[in-house]
Amino acid sequence: MKNKVIIAVLALVIIAGVVMAVVFGFNKSFEYSYTNKIFIKFTENFEIADVEEMVKEVFQDAKYKVEYMDEFEDGVVVTTNTASDEQISSFEDKLIEKYEKFTDKNSGFMEVIHVPPVRTIDLVEVFVKPVIIVTAIVIIFLAIVFRKLGFVKAVCLPIALILGINAIFVSVIAIFRIPVSDYIVSLTMFVYVLSLIVATIYTKRLAK
Amino acid sequence: MEKKLKIILCVVLIILIALISFVGVYSKDVAFFKNIIPSYSLSSEFSGKRVSRFKIYEGESEKIYDKDGNEVDSIPEGANEEDYRKETIKENPDEIRTVENYKKVKEIATRRLKTLGVADYKIRLNETTGEIAVELEDNENTDTILQDLQCKGDFSITDSQDGTLLLSKSDVKKASVIYTNADGTGITVYIDLKFNKEGTEKLAQISKDYLHVHDENEEEEVDENLKKVTLTIESSEMLTTYFGEEITNGELTISLGTATDSDSLQEYLEQGNFYAMLINDEDMPIKYTVDYSEVTKGNLEGNAVYYIIGTILVIFVVAAIYLIARYKLDGLVGILSMGAFISILLLLVRWTNTEISLNSVVAIAILIILDLYLMTKLFNKIKADSNYEAVRKSTVKTYLENIEIIIVAIIIAIVFTFMREEASFSFGMTLFYGIISIGVANLTFLRTMLLAKYNDK
């Protein structure tokens, strides 16, 4: 009875996750959403804190990140999730006002790249082929080694376990709108590999 | 005494391997000390990346038509200009600027990056404006890759006089690069074009129509009326020639040049592979140009590295607490062995120049859990039967009894290693080296220390 309740709850979680994913899609992290990257090349000394202050003033409620372009620290990249033309123009004006070497807007000291969002499918696409191949080989391996258990226990149960564990994990991400980022993609890999190992251990226990 | 010596020796060796792995081995190189252990190779997630903006090319070209409506290259000298009509045409007219074409450009660019062996990339398309943002690892090949992505990819064989299209990409089944060292003067690199059924028939006809058999006994004369064909790739005329024989097998080889050293061979091969890549894929429906490209930091630069190291340390510490709390001295031996396996793994990763990505860290976490599981099985057996003989048999038997799990881990490692993408490859390699490291650490250090501990003699 207890097992049936647990399975029912987990099934509900999976269904809710699928609905959330289909209707609302996955929530993407800042880096993978639509961002505006503003590249500023400095030809005089500057403090990154001053640039951050200007960004806060101009872009107000927007999410932003201000960092050096590279290890030479002679340029800054400002990444924001929203940036209207007026805000960009206002930001440019502030930079011209503060820094002598920025003479006017046409001098090319600032460049804006509008970076479209990454599609969730593009993030996971690289793993689709190896995951399918590995899962197929592992299932065939388990079917051969534990053939005495029969088709249902040696093949169907491991498949159900692998799919179930991963479906629950992905559903939790969808339901709680956890932002999909590099960390989440790697964590999904971790859960997938663990699910294969758990399926193997479980099938072995059944065989014993 | 002997068993204490063995344990101390194992501990000292583990500490030594850990020092070599985490600190390095320094030797004097002229006036400075240099670490002879290669440093870690970090993926672009940790190091810098290049963000480039691809915009639709807004260039225009001029076409000249004579009074009969035929296109001509230029107005002949002395001719009446009023008899000719000039038309300015956008390189990318409005009707081709559709979402379907933008998506096709993205697909073709993705395929080109895979063919070029680029392991780490992100392509983001703005379906409204057609702008594409490409993120690549920043290295010495990035500029070449960006140029390759901008190529339209057109290929044609035309009549050299009137420009009539004779063969196009749609007639080619496959293009590949071959090379031979036939006459010993050097290695000649060719593009080998295999045509499909329709292309084979066309090629047979063209090779007949444009055939010229040069008689060696006759003096060579330049015949201006000789029918020739022009092969064009990426709007550049590669060569203009005639056929020396009829070709009925549907295969055409085009020489790129003869290399006499490894550098020129490499250049010809790269050029050949580039042309083969363009011919094997569709043309870009829209011409793009890179109008801005800049280096930025990787997503995981800075503090993220410490968070990741911290996560691994936390997993290790939790494993240590569990093993020591549950198995006391045996657990301590287990943790020392785990430390040895991590040190050996990191040494292997550094030595083989395996790039460390976030997924490598995932692999290390999985390996720690796998090692913990196997050790738990082993220590439970030892708890049940603690005599020397039982321990000696258990240390190997445990791994044999759990061979299925080890095989599954090996399958995962091998399949992911064969994937080109950096994320998969680094995960697979790290997992593979990790399985070897666990084997080495457990069957040497762990076994030796446990046997020494349970040796009653």
Three-class SS state of B53: strand
Of A117, A145, A183, the CB nearest to B404: A145
Taking an 8 Å cut-off on Cβ atoms, the answer to whether B419 and A122 are in contact is no
Average pLDDT value for residue range A180-204: 92
Percent of chain B with pLDDT over 70: 93
Beta strand pairing call for B71-72 and B165-168 = unpaired
pLDDT digits (tens, 9 = 90+) for B176-222: 999 888 677 788 888 899 999 999 999 999 988 888 776 665 555 55
Sign of CA dihedral A77, B50, B354, B315: positive
* Dihedral sign for Cα atoms in the order B263, B269, B272, B273: negative
Tokens for A151, please give them.
């088709």
- A81 band by pLDDT with thresholds 50, 70 and 90: confident
Angle value at C-alpha A33, between A113 and A110, nearest 5 degrees:
20
Neighbouring-strand partners of residue B89: B61
Which residues pair with residue A35 across a beta bridge? A115
Q: pLDDT at position B68, please? A: 79
Q: What is the mean pLDDT of residues B328-338?
A: 91
Beta-bridged to residue B189, according to DSSP, are B179, B257
- HEC profile for A86-149? HHHHHHHHHHHHHCCCCCCHHHCCEEEEEECCCCHHHHHHHHHHHHHHHHHHHHHHHHHHCHHH
- pLDDT above 80 for B28: no
CB-based contact, B307 to chain A, within 8 Å: no
Please enumerate in sequence order all residues whose Cβ is within 8 A of that of B347, keeping only pairs 6 or more positions apart, or say none.
B17, B20, B21, B37
Edge-first strand order for the sheet with B251-259 is: B172-180, B187-195, B251-259
Enumerate domains of chain A plus CATH numbers: 2-28+119-207 (no CATH), 34-115 (3.30.70)
Range in B26-30, B239-243, B360-364 with the lowest mean pLDDT: B26-30
Could you say which of B51, B296, B424 has the minimum Cβ distance to residue A127?
A: B424
Two tokens, residue B188:
């000649």
Query: What confidence score (pLDDT) does residue B212 get?
Result: 78
| Beta-carbon separation of A189 and B370 below 8 A | no
For residue B294, the chain A residues in CB contact (below 8 A) are: 39, 69, 75, 77, 111
A186 touches chain B (CB under 8 A): yes
Among A189, A191, A196, A203, the strongest candidate for a mutation testing the B interface, having the largest count of B CBs within 10 A, is A189
Using DSSP, how many helices (H) and how many strands (E) does chain B show? 11, 18
Cβ burial, residue B184 (10 Å; 0-12/13-18/19+): exposed
Residue A43 main-chain phi, psi, to 5 deg: -120, 15
Beta bridge partners of B70: none
How far apart (Å, rounded) are the C-alpha atoms in residues B304 and B307? 5
User: The tokens of B438 are what?
Assistant: 């666990």
Judge whether A73 is closer than 8 Å to chain B, CB to CB.
no
Residue contact A134–B358, C-beta within 8 A: no
Q: Specify the 3-state DSSP secondary structure of A160.
A: helix
Q: Buried b vs exposed e over B354-391: b needs ≥16 C-beta within 10 Å? A: bbbbbbbbbbbbbbbbbbbebbbbbbebbeeeeeeeeb
CA distance B107 to B149: 11
Specify whether the CB–CB gap between B87 and B63 falls below 8 A.
yes
pLDDT digit string (tens) for B420-435? 776 788 899 999 999 9
Q: Decide if B362 and A187 are in contact by the 8 Å CB cutoff.
A: yes
For every residue of A29-56, DSSP letters joined together read PGGGS-EEEEEEE-SS---HHHHHHHHH
Query: Which of B105, B111, B294, B427 to substitute to test the interface with A, most A CBs within 10 Å?
Result: B294
Whether residue B325 has pLDDT greater than 90 = yes
- Domains in chain B: ranges and CATH: 2-44+301-453 (1.20.1640.10), 154-215+224-280 (3.30.1360.200)
| B124, B358, B408 member nearest A116 (Cβ) | B124
Residue A12 has pLDDT above 60, yes or no: yes
Residue A205 has pLDDT above 70, yes or no: yes
Helix (H, G, I), strand (E, B) or coil at B68: coil
Contacts with B297 from chain A: Cβ below 8 Å: 67-70, 77
Which residues in chain B have their CB less than 8 angstroms from residue A127's CB? 423-424
- Furthest C-alpha separation in chain A: 81
Distance separating alpha carbons of residues B81 and B86, to the nearest angstrom: 10
Least CB-CB distance to A126: which of B48, B407, B423?
B423
Q: Distance between CA B53 and CA B291 in Å, rounded? A: 6
Region A14-32: mean pLDDT is 89
B131 touches chain A (CB under 8 A): yes
CB distance A39–B294 less than 8 Å? yes
- Interatomic CA distance for residues B43 and B31, integer angstroms: 31
Rounded to a whole number of angstroms, the distance between the first and last alpha carbons of chain A is: 24
Between B36 and A148, residue with greater pLDDT: A148
Alpha-helical regions (H) of B62-166: 99-115, 142-150
A37–B424 CB contact, under 8 Å: no
Q: Which is higher by pLDDT, A208 or A71?
A: A208
Which of B48, B51, B133 is facing A116, going by the closest CB pair? Answer: B133
Q: How far apart are CA B26 and CA B32, in angstroms?
A: 9
B424 inside 8 A of chain A by CB: yes
Closest-CA distance, A1 to chain B, in angstroms, reads 30
Question: How many whole angstroms separate alpha carbon A119 and alpha carbon B343?
Answer: 38
pTM: 0.79
Give yes or no for A204 touching B (CB within 8 A). Answer: yes
Calpha distance B108→B281 (Å, rounded): 7
ipTM field:
0.84
pLDDT at A195: 96
**pLDDT number for residue B373:** 93
Pairwise CB contact (< 8 Å): A134 & B123: no
Question: Other C-beta atoms within 10 Å of A106: how many?
Answer: 6
How sure is the predictor about B6, in pLDDT bands with cuts at 50, 70 and 90? confident
In the chain, the amino acid numbered B316 is F
- CB < 8 Å from A in window 427-446 of B: 427-428
Q: Is B370 on the interface with A (CB under 8 A)?
A: yes
Q: Which amino acid is at A91?
A: F
Q: Are strands B355-356 and B41-42 parallel, antiparallel or unpaired?
A: parallel
Provide the pLDDT for residue A163. Answer: 94
* Token representation of residue B252: 């055409």
Which residues on B lie below 8 Å from A109 (Cβ)? none
* Alpha carbon distance B412, B419 (integer Å): 11
- Tell me what the mean pLDDT of segment A51-78 comes to: 85
Under the banding of pLDDT at 50, 70 and 90, the label for residue A202 is very high
Q: Could you tell me the two tokens for B61?
A: 């070209």
Residue A141 sits at the chain B interface (C-beta within 8 Å): yes
Question: Minimal CA–CA distance to B138: which of B302, B295, B301?
Answer: B295
**Torsion angles phi and psi, residue B91, rounded to 5:** -60, -40
Cβ B238 vs Cβ B271: under 8 Å: no
pLDDT band at B441 (very low <50, low <70, confident <90, very high): very high
Chain B residues in contact with A69 (beta carbon < 8 A): 294-297
**Reported confidence tier of residue A47, pLDDT bands at 50, 70, 90:** confident
Of A170, A202, A151, the residue nearest A25 (C-alpha): A170
Contact B339, B22 (CB under 8 A): no
By the CB < 8 Å criterion, does A133 face chain B? yes
Q: What is the mean pLDDT of residues A150-177?
A: 93
Has residue B301 got a pLDDT over 80?
no
- Sign, CA dihedral B270-B275-B276-B278, equals positive
What whole-number percentage of chain B has pLDDT above 90?
28
When pLDDT is cut at 50, 70 and 90, the band that residue B223 belongs to is low
pLDDT value at residue B222: 55
| Spatial contact of A77 and A112, defined as CB atoms under 8 Å apart | no
Token output for A206: 């059944």
B285 confidence band (pLDDT: 50, 70, 90): very high
- List chain A residues with CB under 8 Å of B415: 130, 133-134, 137
What is the rounded average pLDDT for all residues in chain B? 85
CB interface of B with A, residues 33-62, below 8 Å? 45, 48, 51, 53
Say whether residue A134 is in contact with chain B using an 8 A CB cutoff.
yes
**Interchain pair B415, A39: CB under 8 A:** no
Residue B366 sits at the chain A interface (C-beta within 8 Å): yes
Q: How far is Cα A6 from Cα A11, in angstroms, rounded to an integer?
A: 9
Q: What band does B457 get if pLDDT is binned at 50, 70 and 90? A: low
Question: Nearest residue of B to residue A111 by CA position?
Answer: B292
Distance from CA of A157 to the nearest CA of B (A): 17
pLDDT of residue A4: 87
Most confident of the ranges A113-127, B64-78, B257-271, B395-409? B395-409
Interface membership of B313 toward A (CB under 8 Å): no
**C-alpha span between B89 and B67 (Å, rounded):** 18
Interface test with A, best of B408, B410, B427 (most A CBs within 10 A): B408
CA distances from B422 to A108, B408, B417 (A): 35, 22, 9
Q: What is the mean pLDDT of residues B211-239?
A: 72
Q: In the predicted model, is pLDDT for residue B255 greater than 60?
A: yes
| Band of residue A132 on the pLDDT scale cut at 50, 70, 90 | very high
Answer for the pair B390, B355: CB distance below 8 angstroms, yes or no. Answer: no
* Helix (H) or strand (E) run with residue B391 in it: helix B388-401
Confidence of residue A83 (pLDDT cuts 50, 70, 90): confident
Helices A157-175, A120-145: inter-axial angle, 10-degree rounding: 160
Mutate to test the interface with B, among A183, A195, A196 (most CBs of B within 10 A): A183
Closest alpha carbon to A191 in B98, B438, B10, B362: B362
Which residues on B lie below 8 Å from A77 (Cβ)?
294, 296-297
